Amino acid sequence: MGGMHGLRASSKQKSGVDAIKDSDIETMFDQARKQFDIVVQQRMDSFDRLERDISEVGKDIVGCKTKTGQLSQKLEELDALIDTEQAKWRAVLNEGE
């Protein structure tokens, strides 16, 4: 009968899952939810920063393209001036011959 009594005693004990109180489950759920909300907010903040940074880089690229275009135009003008001056000096030198 001792074996039977031992069986009854063990059947009265709750398993690990059953031993957790409802309030403990609620507390754990609340903590998990708070952590989840924090992670979601951090993710949103990270994406906001990423979008802002991408926008700034885009503006920088547009500015660089504009400056590159202006510099290219000025170089073309300078090349044309050099060609004109070379032609004038060649004409002067050819007159002297």
The per-residue pLDDT for range 26-80, each reduced to its tens digit, is 899 999 999 999 999 999 999 999 999 999 999 999 999 999 999 999 999 999 9
Q: Per the confidence metrics, is the pTM higher than 0.85?
A: no
Q: Which two tokens stand for residue 36?
A: 């989840």
What is the sign of the dihedral through the CA atoms of 79, 84, 85 and 89? positive
- The domain segmentation of the chain, as residue ranges, is 21-95
Q: pLDDT at residue 19 above 90?
A: no
More confident residue, 9 or 55: 55
More confident residue, 25 or 73: 73
Q: pLDDT at residue 13 above 60?
A: no
What is the sign of the dihedral through the CA atoms of 50, 54, 60 and 61? positive
